[in-house]
Every structure is written in C-alpha cells, then in structure tokens.
Amino acid sequence: MAVPISQAWTVATYVLKQKLSGRKRYPLVLMLEPLFRCNLACAGCGKIQYPAHILKAELTPEQCFKAVEECGTPMVSIPGGEPLLHPQMPEIVAGLVARKKYVYMCTNALLLKEKLHLFKPSKYLSFSVHVDGEREHHDFGVCREGGYDVAMEGVRAAVDAGFRVTTNTTLFDGADPNSVRRHFDQMMEAGVESMMVSPGYTYDKAPDQNHFLGKARSRKLFRAILSNRKKAWEFNTHPLFSEYLMGKQDFECTPWGMPTYSIFGWQKPCYLLQDGYADTFQELMETTGWEKYGAKSGNPQCANCMVHSGHEASAVDYNFSSLKGFWTTAKKYIFRPQYEDADAQKLLNEWKSESRGPLVQIAGQTPVVVTTSVNENMTSVAGD
C-alpha cells in the first residue's frame, strides 16, 4: 500500500469528522515553510526573487508547532527552500512526530545522506525527495550537474536506514513520457515507498517562462504517462487526482485544502499565489475571497493550474461527499486499475518533444552569507 493503514485511517476519520460537523471548508495538509533559502537554483522556481535578508529568515520550532495546532490537520508538508538547511529542522520534525502528525519533509536530498543521523525512522515521517525524472532531465531542471546522483545516494541511504521515502516529480513542457515512465521504474527499484507527480505551476517570477504546461498539453502528457501503468508502481496521490491529470475527472480548485504558513504568516490564498497574508489561520479562512480563485473564477493566474496543492484536496473532498464518491474511490484502491488505453500507448510510441527551446540555466547567483559547510553550496534562491 502507498501509505500505512494507520495514516489512511487517520486522514479518513479526520475528513469524516469535518463532513459530519457540516464544515464546508477545511484544511487537509498544512504546507509549512520554515525557510526560503535553498542550495539549488531551479529554473522553474517561483521564489528565487526574495532578497538576501528574507532568505536568511527562519521560523522557530515554537512558531511551527503553533501553526500546526491552529490548523489542526493530520498531515504536514515541509517544503521550502531546502528544509535541511534549517539548523533546527530535526527539532521541528521531532516535535511534529511527537504530536502524531504525518510529516512529509520535502528535500532535494543533496544533504540528506550527511544529515540522516539527526532524524529517527517513524511511521509519521517521510522524506519526500524532489526527483524530476531520469538523470539528465533532473540535472537540467535543477540546473546542477551531478545533482541526480547525489540525490539518489540520499534516497538509498534513507531507505537502507529504515526511513519512509517518497518522491515528488514536477513536469514541464518538453517532458518525455517514456522517460518519466522509466523514472518510475527506477524509483521503485530504489525502494521508495511511493511517488507523486504533478505539472509545474506558472510562477510569474520564475526565470524560465517558456516551459510551463497548459491544461491541454498537461492532460495529453499525463494520459501518456499514467495510462497502461505497471502494477509495481505505487503513487501517494489520490487516484481521482491522477484521473484528473489524465482528463478523466473534472475538479475545481480547493485552495483552502492545503494552506501555507511561512515567515510572512498565513499566505492568501494558497501555496502558489501570494495575495496577502493573515496573522492567524482563522483570519485566513474568514477574510480570504475564495470566490476569486480557481479556473471557474476567471482569474488568469488560475487558468492553467492543475497542481496537486490545489486539486488533490478536491478529489479527497469528493471522495467523502457522497456514497457515489466513496464507492468510486474505494474501487480504485481495491482493484488498482492499470488504465489500459491503446490510444495512450500510441501516444507513447509516437511521442515527439514539444519543447520550445532549451531550459533556462541559472548561473552567477550571489551566495547568501551563512556559517555552513562548503558542500552545502548556499545560493540566494528558494525552491520546492
């Protein structure tokens, strides 16, 4: 199974409690960003515009714990920035685990092997490693030669040490579905628990503006990737979200499903957009104009978004909104469809890249002045 039964049960009972209480808007996963600085400069990153004094800032463990208690979700995702650069990350993770929160600590894994001893294996902790495909594609996307090999060393070390390890893959225009499918095989062979894959969001301040996928291209790409899937592949995304990516479901965005808390406070309306901040979670929920967001709102910033942080919560909500939704989802988990599709196989066989030029490479970044080891290679950027 892609996640432990205890985690699935905890999430299910949490959502049912929200439904029975009549709560229409509830959070599913807290996106906790304790810092923005990173040791990579990815071309598709939307946070590398922050000045140095922001990149040096960090949330304290106490601030993190308070946000988790305010939000009340059973799951916490820790993106960034690179969380392993936070000197108190082991303390933050240990505190969340002690609170029995299921933690997905997102990391590019460049530092994972050397810092692994600072953490303890637990069913509540997963290292969610950002791996954007096979070696060449990953290194090109993160703008660092050799990054894939270092990341996979971290993955294997964590698996061997008994940690839960998942992967997170973001796809852009020009992605080769055949290569992505080989990447899935490689991750399963490496022993990762499960995988998540999602299209990149069109951050308006990302250095590379030519490679973000529109909805039509996204559906074509994901239909080719996720149809005719192998039984060995394990995904930690909701099966109906996968179907949404393939064009088999139509979900509107649920921006409140994965609220974000960072050094600025509670971000309006979601992890991907910055339209102001709230001091408390309650203020976020009560003062955000939720009707202004999502594809149906006509907001151009939402027009091509199909990202999991906005739509997977919609799939989960549908799951628990009716007997039909529950039974539809249950069948996906019980029978694990492979989505046999002859036309999708034809797409794979005939696929030609639609790339519009080379991916932007980031060079000459000014290092952030910090007291850290040289091999951490700090740069003045932030990414997920």
Query: CA-to-CA distance for 148 and 137, rounded, in angstroms?
Result: 9
| pLDDT tens digit sequence for 66-109 | 999 999 999 999 998 899 999 999 999 999 999 999 999 999 99
pLDDT in tens, 299-331: 998 988 998 888 999 999 999 999 999 999 999
Q: What's the order of all strands across the beta sheet hosting 125-130?
A: 194-199, 164-171, 125-130, 102-107, 75-78, 29-32, 260-262, 265-269, 274-278
Top-level CATH class of 5-350?
A: alpha beta
Q: Does residue 208 carry a pLDDT above 60?
A: no
Q: Which two three-digit tokens encode residue 110? A: 């460049």
Mean pLDDT of the chain: 87
Following DSSP, what letter does each residue of 98-158 receive, concatenated?
A: HTT-EEEEEE--TTHHHHGGGS---TTEEEEEE--SSHHHHHHHHT-TTHHHHHHHHHHHH
Residue 146 — very low, low, confident or very high, per pLDDT cuts 50/70/90? very high
- What span, in angstroms and rounded, lies between the C-alpha atoms of 337 and 351? 24
Are 198 and 307 within 8 A, CB to CB? yes
Look up residue 267 and give its DSSP letter: E
Give the pLDDT score at 76. Answer: 98
Domain positions in the chain: 5-350
**Straight-line distance from the first to the last Cα atom of the chain, in angstroms, rounded to the nearest whole number:** 26
Is 147 buried (19+), middle (13-18) or exposed (0-12) by CB count in 10 A?
Answer: buried
Lowest-confidence segment of 92-106, 212-226, 266-280 by average pLDDT = 212-226
Least confident segment among 21-35, 76-90, 129-143, 249-263: 129-143
